[in-house]
Amino acid sequence: MKIEKWLKEHEVDLKGKNVLFVGWTGSIGFEALKVLASWNATLFLAARNLEKANKKIEELKKACPNVTAYTYPLDLSSLASVDSFVDALKKDDLHFDVFINNAGVFHLNPRTTVDGYDETFEVNTLSHIYLLKKIIPLLNLNARVISTSSMSYKFYKGNLSNIALENISSKMKKYALSKQEMLNAFMFMKENAERKDIEMVLIHPGIVPTELFEKGYSKFFMAIIFPIMKVLFHSPRKAMLGILLALNENVSSNEWIAPRGLLEAWGYPKKAKIKKSVLLLNEKVHSYINSLIRE
């Protein structure tokens, strides 16, 4: 099937709907953004790099001249930035029908944030959950939350005595566990949500040659690996279809959206299952993350 045909079959009318999108300036996110704009969404866009964001909006406007888009600063490596971001949304009296958090980092070198956490942990797990908790009260009735995890969540066993992912030398292990822990806390919140009207859907895009890898590996390594990845795996344009499928009415909170190809590494998105043993950690991971979150 061609992507255009898939898009026609799965189109959702977003006219009059407010979509809050985090992680749209990157490869997969920007492909999704262009479609959301063409489906007439009103876009509220969070970005850590406003210069990059403005260039992307110019590009978006070339494809979709009538788009309505507002940008807000947000750096997920700082809890204070999450606070300021949500304060700005509240000041503008905004409410949302869709909240997408597709942001993620995979770092070449370990970094410590202003809050004293490992950056991969803070961006991919802690701030993801902190922001979600703060956005839920701003969601309209029957809103949808879509969060991006990773298929790598299933490759490593979670370690409850090191949820903050300190001193893990393998960046792949750290990344995978950060996405697994986000999944754990997200699933716990979903199962214990007071707002039963909200659909909370987790997705993963498979393996996609994107900026994420360029940020995570050396230029030399990428020069060899990237062309091979482009042949073996799928494009950001196909990978973003999972985000769009999660907007469909027949996709509920109970679903995990993943590519349908071998090992869920590529292909059109489908409803899939999360590894059961990982879900056993939900409550403990959520409780730890909650303990780090300031009121």
Ligand X SMILES: NC(=O)c1ccc[n+]([C@@H]2O[C@H](COP(=O)([O-])OP(=O)(O)OC[C@H]3O[C@@H](n4cnc5c(N)ncnc54)[C@H](OP(=O)(O)O)[C@@H]3O)[C@@H](O)[C@H]2O)c1
Residues near ligand X (CB under 6 A) are 23-29, 48-49, 52, 74-77, 102-105, 123, 148, 150, 204-205, 207-208, 210-212, 215
| Sign of the dihedral through C-alpha 14, 16, 22, 24 | positive
- Closest CB to ligand X belongs to which residue? 26
For residues 158 and 181, give the distance between their C-alpha atoms in angstroms, rounded to a whole number.
8
Shortest spacing between CB 22 and ligand X, in angstroms:
6
CB of 282 to ligand X, least distance (A): 20
Q: What is the rounded (10 degree) CA torsion for 86, 91, 97, 103?
A: -30
Helix segments in 136-235, DSSP class H: 171-191, 211-216, 219-232
Q: How far is the CB of 233 from ligand X (least distance, A)?
A: 7
* Rounded Cα–Cα distance for residues 46 and 96 (Å): 13
At 8, the amino acid letter reads K
Q: Looking at beta carbons only, is 158 or 216 nearer to ligand X?
A: 216
Of 119 and 199, CB closest to ligand X:
119
Q: By C-beta, is 123 or 198 nearer to ligand X?
A: 123
- Give the shortest CB-139-to-ligand X separation in angstroms: 20
Residue 154's φ and ψ, nearest 5 degrees, are -90, -5
Pick the closer one to ligand X by CB: 42 or 127.
127
